[in-house]
A and B are shown apart, each in its own frame.
Chain A
Amino acid sequence: MSEETSSSTGAEGPGDGSTRDGSTTGAPSRRAVLGWGGAGLALGAAAAGGSVAALRGGTETVPAGMSGAAVPFHGAHQAGIASAVQDRLHFAAFDVTTKDRAALVRLLKDWTRAAERMTAGLPVGEGAVGGLPEAPPDDTGEALGLKPNRLTLTIGFGPGLFAKDRFGLEDRRPEALVDLEQFPGDNLDPARSGGDLCVQACADDPQVAVHAIRQLARIGFGKTAMRWSQLGFGKTSSTTPDQQTPRNMMGFKDGTRNISGTDTAALDRHVWVGGGDGADWMTGGSYLVARRIRMHIETWDRTPLQEQEDIFGRDKAEGAPVGKPKEHDAPFLKAMKPDAHVRLAHPDSNDGATILRRGYSFTDGTDGLGRLDAGLFFLAYQRDVRKGFVRIQRALSKNDSLNEYIQHVGSAVFAVPPGVRDTDDWWGRTLFS
Chain B
Amino acid sequence: MRPVRLSVLTAAAVVAALTAVTGCAEKSDSAGGDGAIHVTATDTACEVSKKDFPAGKATIEVENKGAKVTELYLLFPDGRIVAERENIGPGTKATITAEIKAGDYEIACKPGMKGDGIRQQVKATGSGAAEKRSPEADAAVSAYRTYVQEQADETLPKAQAFADAVKAGDLEAAKKAYALSRIGWERTEPVAESFGDIDPKVDVREDGLEAGQDPAKDWTGWHRLEKSLFQDGKITDQDKKLADTLMADLTDWQKKVGQAEITPTSMANGAKELLDEVATGKVTGEEERYSHTDLVDFKANVEGAQKAYELLKPIASKNDPALAAELDKQFASMNTLLDKYRADKASYEFQSYESVKEDQRKELSDAVSALGEPLSKLAAAVAK
Contact = CB atoms under 8 A, between A and B. Distances in A.
B10 interface: no
- Sort chain B's interface into a size bin: 10 to 19
A417 B260 CA distance: 54
Interface string A47-62: 0000000000000000
A80 B216 CA distance: 58
Given A134-B380, A135-B379, A225 B373 contact: no
A222 B379 contact: no
A135 B377 CA distance: 6
B373 A221 contact: yes
A52 B369 CA distance: 39
Interface in A213-247: 218, 221-223, 225
A265 interface: no
B370 interface: yes
B330 A222 contact: yes
B18 interface: no
B252 interface: no
A222 B383 contact: no
B286 interface: no
A293 B376 CA distance: 38
Interface centre among B330, B370, B376 (most CB of A within 10 A): B370
A136 interface: yes
Contacts of A221: 369-370, 372-374
Given A132-B383, A134-B265, A134-B379, A218 B366 contact: no
A97 interface: yes
State the main secondary structure of chain B at its contact with A.
helix
Contacts of B383: 132, 134-135
Given A97-B366, A134-B265, A222 B373 contact: yes
Contacts of B377: 135-136
Contacts of A223: 370
A218 B376 CA distance: 12
Interface string A116-140: 0000000000000000101110000
Contact of A132 (B269, B326, B374, B380): B380
Q: Taking each of A222, A223, A225, which has the highest tally of chain B beta carbons within 10 Å of its own beta carbon?
A: A222
A222 B380 contact: no
A222 B374 contact: yes
A97 B376 contact: no
A221 B365 CA distance: 11
Given A134-B265, A222-B326, A222-B330, A97 B380 contact: no
Interface string B315-342: 0000000000010001000000000000
A134 B326 CA distance: 19
Contact of B370 (A132, A134, A135, A222): A222
Nearest to B365: A225
Interface in B346-384: 362, 366, 369-374, 376-377, 379-380, 383
13 contacts: A97-B370, A132-B380, A134-B379, A135-B376, A135-B379, A136-B377, A221-B369, A221-B372, A221-B373, A222-B370, A222-B371, A225-B362, A225-B369
Interface of A: 97, 132, 134-136, 218, 221-223, 225
Interface of B: 265, 268-269, 326, 330, 362, 366, 369-374, 376-377, 379-380, 383
Given A134-B269, A135-B377, 12 more contacts: A134-B379, A134-B383, A218-B373, A221-B369, A221-B370, A221-B372, A221-B373, A221-B374, A222-B371, A222-B373, A222-B374, A223-B370
